[in-house]
Amino acid sequence: MIEVKNINQFYGNKQILKDVNFKIKENEITALIGPNGAGKSTLLGVISRLLKQKSGEVLIDNVNIDKISSNDIAKKMSVLRQSNNINIRITVEELVSFGRFPYSKGRLNNIDKAKINEAIKYMKLDDLRDTYIDQMSGGQRQRAYIAMVLAQDTKYIFLDEPLNNLDMKHAVEMMTILENLVKDYKKTIVIVMHDINIASAFCSHIVAMKDGMIIAEGKTNDIINKEILDDVFDHDFCIAGFNGKKICVYHNLLEKNITLEEEV
């Protein structure tokens, strides 16, 4: 279990995170949502130890992550940031191999190679394993990065806006893959995202942030709530139901005398 306790973070004199507390739900996908500048990516960076907080602590299995070696942390949690610029020309297989570095230190053994092959096959990249990353489409490239994370074989996976620059088809495909990682590999995934309806469709837990604070957190259908979302985003939402899920209509259709059937 990962527990975030009393986290505060500053950029210069500006406070970005303000006394943040929550526990990450295991074997689930948790979405961090909120407007730009809410502190979502900063919080993800602190939890994954990419950023050092000003105060507070992050515990993994009741141990402060600051007391765990970088190599051991890399065996417990993996991170995929918004920008994944690699300055060398590498193939899919070479990229995925990077995920094994905490174990192999660059000297791949049979276990490492098996994990790499398993990740490539799971992400349906077998036919592309010798393809250079810069020759791939955005959706293919993102699958390759997820394969690298899968090869790293960590319980916790942190993703910072992985749906950026993906069209709807590939965004849904990516979220379906993440759902399957939870089911097939018992992964715990935390994802920063902007699309509330994607969060509602695929995530079982939502943390809603605003101005560096957690405004609300809980089960998805509890957070997809007009009062909560109006507060978080300073917007007048209309919430509708479909197939047992709640969705957001970003323009209030009720003002135009259009009736929405509530199913939730």
Q: Name the DSSP letter for residue 39.
A: S
β-strands 29-33, 188-192 pairing: parallel
Work out the pLDDT band at 254, boundaries 50, 70, 90: low
Residues 118-147 have pLDDT tens digits of 999 999 999 999 999 999 998 899 999 999
The CA-atom distances, in angstroms, between 98 and each of 85, 92, 112, 173 are 14, 10, 10, 24
* Average pLDDT score, the chain: 92
pTM for the predicted model, two decimal places: 0.91
Mean pLDDT of 13-22: 96
Q: Where are the beta strands (DSSP E) in 12-83?
A: 14-24, 29-33, 55-60, 63-64, 77-80
- pLDDT per position as a tens digit, 243-252: 888 989 876 6
Weakest-pLDDT range from 42-51, 155-164, 253-262: 253-262
Paired strand residues for 55: 8
Predicted local distance difference test score (pLDDT) of residue 252:
60
- Could you tell me the fold of the domain covering 2-256? Rossmann fold (3.40.50)
User: Quick count: other Cβ atoms within 10 Å of Cβ 8?
Assistant: 16
